Amino acid sequence: MSFNSRELWQKRFEAYTTELIRYMRYMFNDHLLFVLVIGVGAGIFYYAGWVKTIQETFPAIPLMVTLLTIAVVISPIITLLKEPDIVYLIVKETEMQDYFKRAKRISFWMQLYLYIVILAVAMPMYVGVTHRPYSHFFLLLVSIGAIKLWNVYTNWESMKLDNSDTTWMFARVIISALLIYLLLAFSFYWTIPLTIIVLGLSYWGLKNGQKGSF
């Protein structure tokens, strides 16, 4: 019987989502949901009132850079591997490539919500301080999404390097924070092309510097 990494991923992911749904139902019962709805509603009410009185001197951009950088840099790869896999699947390195491609894609999509929520919540504050239009939200959403995608794939590639825990982690933080700041503070006409170039060149450099293939 031939080994099929797609079937393996499908089975693992179905089991993972089933367990996740069961856990979420346990955590977010009716009483907790009621409290959360009331809390979120009250938070929105007071936040909306505060935004109307926000001063231009409020450090909205530094605050957003900090929160969004944390959201995009923390990019664990959901491999769904188990301990015995190290022994049994190491000989299937070539066949496992499709498995890990799916793992990276799922990791990206499942982690999008955090930075989207942060950006959506911070947008009224950002508009109040910078006086930029709300339509900028969509360009920021896509641009910062690209930075998130870069972090997921760069994190995966850097795990193959000997210095993955230091050099590239530091580099991801610095590059992400700098690009997010530029996108928030300056014109999209040059910051978006610059973001694409920096992300592309840095990923290319990492790919060419890796020593492993798995």
Q: Domain locations in the chain? A: 5-210
Pairwise pLDDT comparison (52 vs 24), residue with the higher score: 52
Q: What is the pLDDT averaged over residues 127-143?
A: 94
pTM score of the predicted model: 0.86
> According to the model, what pLDDT value does residue 59 have?
95
Q: For residue range 40-70, what is the model confidence (pLDDT) as tens digits?
A: 889 989 999 999 999 989 999 999 999 999 9
Token pair listed for 157: 């590639």
Q: For residue range 69-96, what is the model confidence (pLDDT) as tens digits?
A: 999 999 988 888 887 777 776 667 677 8
Q: What is the pLDDT averaged over residues 29-37?
A: 77
Of residues 180, 172, 198, 188, the one with CA closest to residue 62: 180
> According to the model, what pLDDT value does residue 139 have?
96
What's the pLDDT band for 24 if we cut at 50, 70, 90? confident
Q: What is the pLDDT averaged over residues 154-178?
A: 82
Pairwise pLDDT comparison (93 vs 109), residue with the higher score: 109
* C-alpha torsion 171→192→129→75, nearest 10: -40
With a cut of 70, say whether residue 125 has pLDDT above it.
yes
Sign of CA dihedral 77, 79, 80, 81: negative
With a cut of 50, say whether residue 212 has pLDDT above it.
no
> According to the model, what pLDDT value does residue 99 have?
87
What's the pLDDT band for 2 if we cut at 50, 70, 90? low
